């Protein structure tokens, strides 16, 4: 019960890393506000939490819209009285180099992956300061620290999250701790359409020779959200099976 009595607001909670984190946090005693645009899958998540004797609510929100972020935080506080933990995890993904990606795809990717985290922080930080503490956990990516062709918007957003992490941590320490997880190749809904052969090829690029599962990242989120990481803020935790620790020439990826 590492999060007993805590209230956790988790975005992108209907699938993948967000779903695994919501279930794990609830198992560890947290009350969950699960936020996602996918209502049917989001409600399935909270029902699974409730069946396991946890406490959770679902809040539908499009995190590209400021008003919906504000509403989601307000509904969480109306239900539970406060937010102790923010896990900013929602993502949007559009392929393309700087010459290929459309401006609309660029804007949406940056809005969901980067700007939403800033907006969420603006909404939850005042309450955390008033309550004497809180933790913010951000889902970044190893693409924030390593180059990867054809992902310009996603990489720009994830790189921005690292700077935002340091800034938030500096501004609101020691009351609020802010850290980011950098997952590697984790099988989530963003992998829809990737063939089994392609998934295996990606796995073999990793020293541990497997792709990550959402539960691998949820465990890292629990560590950063709980007192286990009480002396950590303003930093990133790489959880990528060793992917970013080795030199992988581009021609070897083909």
Q: Known catalytic residues?
A: 154
Please give the Cα distance from 130 to 221 (Å, whole number).
24
Please give the Cα distance from 184 to 217 (Å, whole number).
9
Please give the Cα distance from 33 to 49 (Å, whole number).
11
- Say if residues 194 and 222 touch (Cβ distance below 8 Å): no
The closest of 6, 58, 52 to 30, measured between CA atoms, is 6
3-state DSSP assignment of residue 106: helix
For the chain, give the number of residues.
254
Q: What counts of helices (H) and strands (E) characterise the chain?
A: 8, 7
């Amino acid at each position: 019960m590492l999060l007993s009595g805590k209230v956790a607001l988790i975005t992108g909670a209907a699938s993948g890393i967000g779903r695994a984190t919501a279930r794990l946090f609830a198992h560890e005693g947290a009350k969950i506000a699960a936020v996602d645009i996918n209502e049917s899958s989001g409600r399935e998540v909270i029902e699974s939490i409730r069946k396991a004797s946890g406490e959770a609510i679902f809040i539908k929100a499009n995190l590209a819209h400021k008003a919906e972020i504000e509403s989601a935080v307000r509904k969480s506080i109306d239900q539970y009285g406060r937010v102790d933990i923010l896990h900013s995890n929602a993502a949007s993904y559009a392929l393309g180099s700087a010459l290929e990606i459309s401006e609309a795809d660029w804007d949406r990717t940056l809005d969901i992956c980067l700007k939403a985290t800033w907006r969420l922080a603006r909404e939850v930080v005042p309450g955390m300061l008033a309550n004497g503490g809180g933790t913010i956990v951000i889902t970044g990516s190893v693409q924030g620290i390593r180059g990867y062709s054809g992902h310009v918007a996603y990489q720009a957003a994830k790189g921005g999250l690292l700077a935002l992490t340091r800034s938030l941590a500096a501004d609101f320490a020691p009351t609020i701790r802010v850290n980011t997880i950098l997952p590697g190749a984790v099988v989530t809904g963003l992998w829809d359409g990737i063939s089994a052969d392609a998934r295996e090829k990606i796995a073999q690029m990793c020293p541990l020779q497997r792709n990550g599962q959402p539960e691998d990242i949820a465990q890292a989120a629990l560590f950063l959200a709980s007192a286990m990481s009480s002396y950590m803020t303003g930093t990133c935790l790489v959880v990528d099976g060793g992917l970013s620790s080795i030199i992988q020439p581009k021609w070897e990826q083909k």
